[in-house]
Structure 1
Amino acid sequence: MKGTTVVFFEERTGAQLSFDCSAFPVAVPMQQWLACRLSEQFSARSGTKGAVMAKNYFYAARFFARALAACDAAPRTPADLTAEHIQAFRARYSDSPAVLRSHLKLLRVLLRDCDDLVPSARDDLMRTGCRRFRPLIRCSTTPTTSGRTS
């Protein structure tokens, strides 16, 4: 997959939703990778059947992209993604534990079968608990509500 737009078809109604990852504030290869992860989650074989859940996955991917973009060493490709980037995501939303838990659950589903993740990043993503820590890479820890991070 080379594009950044993913189309979701709701199973019950047949309604169509388009999700555009090109606005994610990360490098194009990361946008394409996240779009690919979403398209796999939106396939007929996945458990995502409704529009609300599809939107939740998209929002989790967008929040993840924003956290990555805020890092000094933002990953340009999925192979560049490290455990420190996952920790930066956790740190960015640590003041909102419910939001963090929700997005982590969704990210775990999106990325669990992804061969592109290095083992340390996968291990950190899959670990439970939201303990407080300082990431090893410098990132902005203030979430933004606008479409792009500062």
Structure 2
Amino acid sequence: MSTAKEILHASEASITPERTVSVDVAQSVDDVVELMLKKDVGLVLVVEQGGTYVGVVTQKRALQELHHHGSQIPRETAMALADAQYPTVTGDSDAGSIAATMIEHGVRKLPVVDSGELVGLVTDADVARHLSDTASAGFLRELWRRRGRETDDTGPKYTGEDAL
């Protein structure tokens, strides 16, 4: 079974401006939100200089903080919003364990971190391509169920709510 590193290489999902957006811990929340809007992403990886992984800022978390703290939050740094508990996988994690981690936590994207360094970001689509057809269908169906979406054999049913 393919490992996270192999999945990143095969799908060209390694850190590139098109696929993965990261910010330095010292960048302002205002900068993070502006970058999310500019790049049309819902998850930004937070790193220290040199690429040491710190956590992620999700669109949902940024919106919650802006809602609760209003104009004061843009002066905070990315570090203040970074979720250091967000699940990660290692480069040696196989596609099956990555899929299981996504299902367990109800997330569609996972940072790949080796020895504290950010290696890349894998998505549910990346992982599904590296599973058998049967395993892929079961993985995606269970992930959507876990995320509160109804599915049938044709895939997820759109409920009118935007998934983060």
**TM value normalised by structure 1:** 0.28
Higher strand residue share: 2
Between structure 1 and structure 2, the one with the greater Rg is: 2
Higher helix residue share: 1
